[in-house]
Amino acid sequence: GILNEVLKNYKPEPKIKDDQKT
């Protein structure tokens, strides 16, 4: 399937914690 293929190497963007925001 197309989603199983195109998302196989998906990496979530790291979440920025509030105290790390500039």
Partner 1 sequence: WGVIGHQTVAKIAENNLNIRAKAAVKDLLPDESLTQISSWADQVRSQPEYRYTSSWHFLNLPDGLDYNSFTQTVKGLSGDNIYTAILKCGKTLSDPSSSRAQKVEALKFMVHLVGDAHQPMHISRAEDKGGNTIQVQFNGKGTNLHSLWDGKLLDAQGLTADEMATKFNKTNPAQILQWQKDPILKWLFESYQISSKLYAEVQSGSKLSEEYYTKHLPEVQLRLEQGGIRLA
Q: Which residues bind to partner 1, rule: CB under 8 A?
A: 1-13
Q: How far is the CB of 16 from partner 1 (least distance, A)?
A: 12
- Nearer residue to partner 1 within complex by CB, 1 or 19: 1
Q: How far is the CB of 20 from partner 1 (least distance, A)?
A: 17
What tokens appear for 17 in the block? 């914690």
Query: Measured between alpha carbons, how far is 5 from 3 in angstroms, rounded to an integer?
Result: 5
- Nearer residue to partner 1 within complex by CB, 7 or 22: 7
Amino acid sitting at position 20:
Q
Please compute, for residue 13, the number of CA atoms within 13 A of its CA located in the half-sphere on the CB side: 3
